[in-house]
Amino acid sequence: EDSFTPSDFELTPYIKEGENKLAVQVYKWTSSSWCEDQDFFRFSGIYRDVFLYTVPKVHIKDMRLQTLFGDSLEQAELRVNLKTTAKGSVKLTLLDEEKAIIEHQETLDIESQYLLKVEAPKLWSAEDPKLYTLLLEVRDERGELQEVVKEEVGFRKFEIRDSLMLLNGRRIVFKGVNRHDFSSKTGRAISFEEMEQDIITMKQNN
C-alpha cells in the first residue's frame, strides 16, 4: 500500500493474439497514504515506468552476490547464489575492466551456489569505487544460450570493531541529507538528468 514499491504481474495467461489493452487503476487515497506525506506535495498517479518484458525458459529469477574476506584483505571470495526457473548450465566470468580473471563452467540447478576465489582484489570505497563485472551466460540442458546477465561487483569489507564502523579496515563516517524525488516541472515523476543535477548541486555545496 505505498506509491514506490515495484510490483510485477504475470500476464502470460491473459495475453491474446492481436491487440491487447493494459489498464491500470490508481487509488488516490488508501489507509496508508497519510504515512507517505511527510513534507511531500500530495499527488496521485504513477511515478515510475510501466513496461512489459519476457523471460526465457531458463531464467535467473533471483541472484545474491556476497564479497567475503577472512582476516586479510589480500584474498576474497565472491559467493554467487542463483535461483532459476529451470535446470541448465552457466558460465561465470569475472572481468577486471576488459580482462577475464576467472572463468568457470558449471551446472545450473533450481537453486545453486558458486564460490569464486579472487587473489589481491582491488577494493571498493566511496573515494575509489572500483567495480568488477560478473558475466553470467545461461544455457538450457541442450546447450542453447538462453540469457546473458551482467552485474557489477565491488569488493569491500564492512565491520564494526570497538564500536566503530570500518570499511576495508578504516573508520568510515556517513554524511548525508534527506532528499525527496521532486521536479518543479513534472512533480513526483523525475528524470535521471534531474536526479543527477540534484547530486551535483549538493556536492557543489559540500
- Give the pLDDT confidence score for residue 1 in this predicted structure: 66
Q: How confident is the model at residue 182 (pLDDT cuts 50, 70, 90)?
A: confident
Q: pTM value?
A: 0.79
pLDDT digit string, tens, across residues 72-81: 999 999 999 9
CA 143 remoteness from chain centre: 28
Cβ atoms of 50 and 90 closer than 8 Å: no
pLDDT digit string, tens, across residues 16-40: 999 999 888 877 777 777 777 667 7
Beta bridge partners of 33: none
pLDDT digit string, tens, across residues 85-139: 999 999 999 999 999 999 999 999 999 999 999 999 999 998 899 999 999 999 9
Measured distance CA(36)–CA(182) in Å, rounded: 14
Cβ atoms of 55 and 32 closer than 8 Å: no
CA 73 remoteness from chain centre: 25
